[in-house]
């Protein structure tokens, strides 16, 4: 029912916008700019609406040793609608903004970004309230529309991406220094539950641009983030897939009981030099329980290179990386080739400490991305997985995506 109400409402709104263009006195302009945008002539109002569709298919292969340890694969291939999202956002009277985004993948409606924000405030700069991304991990702050690989490295498994809360954030020194401070109600660690009620979280992050040369397209981003989490349920769980949402989870801490507090610290860096880029992060989780102090970790490093000469687009500290615009779109009048990117990543996750034998996983991912135009992309990933002392697996997967 919620699906139909939302879709019908969006359709009616779209139709009203289109027909309103027939009035020559209409003070709004409606256009396509890699998404639908409605802007008032006095720039007091700017509205956007659109969505994204991502379709994945994957093949799985695992060694006899891994089959013996974990059992046979339930399926050796799979297809899913990874994301099917619609959003509506806007800026009002220059200092107020909002966003509503819902995901319809998996025959369920999941609310993603649902927030109201205020800008140009004295001292704090910007204030945001609602359900949105915690300022933690560069990889998760970057939209799924613009990630280099189909799935993030396993640092996303240590805490949920979004929560209900409030955040203040600001940029300084011509946007070369940025800071975010937030507090949230904690959701279940395995989901982005909009009805968060499991204790509270305090998360802070500071980043800086040590190099920022727009003419030469050079950038060096450095950042540090810390998150204090006190679950009311006294439970914590980390389990990770090897770079594919369709793959099984080979490593897991299991549900840790009697957890007093969780301390997460994350170091991040990214470097761009023309068509070449590097990105890496190290995350450490310290879990204090009634009887012990546990440590788990993840790190990854990835490089990419645009064969056709494009470059990754750095949006901001909190938004991470943005849209790639090919120098020549595929086909059309210019008969272009689009943009082609190759990428390589190594990620390692250690979920074993003291009496917790969660496993240690390392994976190498090789990626090829073809950007047909700014809103359409084909992705192919080949992943080699090693579960320490257990066995190996291989994953070959592809994605077609479009956003509007």
Q: Which pLDDT score is estimated for 33?
A: 87
Q: The tokens of 352 are what?
A: 């074993």
Does residue 190 register a pLDDT over 50?
no
- Please answer whether residues 138 and 312 qualify as being in contact, where contact means their C-beta atoms are separated by less than 8 angstroms: no
Q: Which pLDDT score is estimated for 21?
A: 47
Q: Which pLDDT score is estimated for 41?
A: 87
In angstroms, the CA 134 to CA 230 distance is: 15
In angstroms, the CA 171 to CA 264 distance is: 23
Q: Which pLDDT score is estimated for 364?
A: 98
**pLDDT category of residue 202 using cuts at 50, 70 and 90:** very high
Other Cβ atoms less than 10 A from the Cβ of 141: the count is: 24
pLDDT tens by residue, 37-74: 999 988 889 999 999 999 999 999 999 999 999 999 99
Region of residue 307 (left: phi > 0; alpha: psi -120 to 50; beta: else): alpha
> What secondary structure does DSSP assign to 113-154, as a single string?
EEEEEEEEETTTEEEEEEEEE-S--HHHHS-TTS-SSSS--G
Mean pLDDT along residues 220-239? 96
Nearest Cα residue to 141 out of 40, 221, 252: 221
**pLDDT category of residue 373 using cuts at 50, 70 and 90:** very high
Q: The tokens of 201 are what?
A: 């979280």
pLDDT tens by residue, 296-309: 999 999 999 999 99
pLDDT over 70, % of the chain: 91
Other Cβ atoms less than 10 A from the Cβ of 178: the count is: 22
> Structure pTM?
0.90
The β-bridge relationship of strands 96-103 and 251-252 is unpaired
pLDDT tens by residue, 78-114: 999 999 999 999 999 989 999 999 999 988 889 999 9
Question: How far separated are the first and last CA of the chain, in Å rounded?
Answer: 24
pLDDT tens by residue, 326-349: 999 998 787 899 999 999 999 999
Other Cβ atoms less than 10 A from the Cβ of 123: the count is: 6
Other Cβ atoms less than 10 A from the Cβ of 358: the count is: 21
The CATH number given to 2-403 is 2.40.160.10
Q: Where are the domains of the chain?
A: 2-403
Cross-strand bridge partners of residue 218: 213, 273
Average pLDDT over the chain reads 92
**pLDDT category of residue 290 using cuts at 50, 70 and 90:** very high
Torsion of CA 322, 315, 111, 145, to 10 degrees: 10
Q: Which pLDDT score is estimated for 3?
A: 55
Q: The tokens of 140 are what?
A: 């998760």
Q: Which pLDDT score is estimated for 142?
A: 98
| 34 DSSP 8-state letter | S
Q: Beta strands of 307-338 (E only): which ranges?
A: 314-316, 320-321
95 to 99, 117, 125, 172: CA distances (angstroms): 14, 8, 11, 18
User: Which residues, at least 6 apart from 174, have a Cβ–Cβ distance to it below 8 Å?
Assistant: none
Cross-strand bridge partners of residue 289: 259
């Amino acid at each position: 029912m919620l699906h139909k109400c939302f879709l019908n409402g969006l359709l009616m709104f779209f139709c009203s916008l289109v027909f309103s263009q027939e009035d020559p006195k209409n003070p709004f302009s409606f256009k396509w700019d890699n998404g639908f945008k409605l802007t008032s002539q006095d720039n007091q109002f700017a509205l956007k609406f659109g969505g994204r569709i991502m379709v994945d298919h994957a093949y799985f292969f695992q060694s006899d040793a891994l089959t013996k340890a974990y059992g046979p694969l339930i399926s050796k291939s799979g297809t899913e609608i990874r994301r099917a999202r619609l959003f509506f956002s806007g800026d009002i009277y220059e200092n107020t903004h909002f966003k509503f985004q819902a995901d319809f993948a998996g025959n369920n409606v999941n609310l993603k970004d649902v927030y109201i924000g205020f800008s140009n405030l004295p001292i704090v700069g910007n204030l945001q309230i609602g359900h949105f991304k915690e300022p933690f991990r560069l990889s998760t702050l970057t939209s799924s529309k613009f990630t280099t690989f189909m799935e993030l490295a396993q640092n996303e498994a240590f805490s949920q991406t979004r929560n209900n809360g409030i955040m203040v954030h600001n940029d300084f020194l011509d946007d070369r220094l940025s800071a975010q401070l937030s507090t949230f109600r904690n959701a279940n660690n395995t989901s982005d539950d909009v009805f968060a009620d499991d204790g509270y979280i305090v998360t802070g992050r500071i980043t800086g641009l040590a190099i920022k040369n727009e003419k030469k397209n050079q950038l060096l981003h450095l950042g540090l983030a810390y998150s204090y989490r006190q679950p009311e349920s006294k439970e914590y769980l980390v389990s990770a897939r090897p770079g594919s949402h369709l793959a099984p989870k080979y490593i897991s801490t299991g549900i840790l009981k009697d957890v007093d507090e969780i301390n997460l610290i994350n170091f991040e860096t990214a470097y761009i030099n023309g068509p070449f880029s590097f990105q890496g992060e190290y995350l450490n989780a310290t879990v204090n329980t009634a009887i012990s102090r546990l440590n788990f970790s993840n790190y990854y490093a990835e490089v990419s290179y645009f064969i056709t000469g494009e470059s990754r687009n750095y949006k901001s500290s909190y938004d991470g990386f943005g849209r790639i615009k090919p120098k020549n779109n595929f086909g059309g009048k210019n008969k272009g080739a689009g943009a082609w990117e190759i990428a390589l990543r190594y990620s390692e996750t250690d979920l074993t400490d003291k009496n917790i034998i969660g496993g240690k996983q390392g994976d190498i991912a090789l990626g090829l991305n073809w950007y047909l135009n700014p809103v359409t992309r084909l992705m192919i990933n080949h992943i080699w997985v090693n579960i320490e002392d257990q066995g190996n697996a291989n994953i070959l997967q592809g994605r077609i995506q479009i956003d509007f």
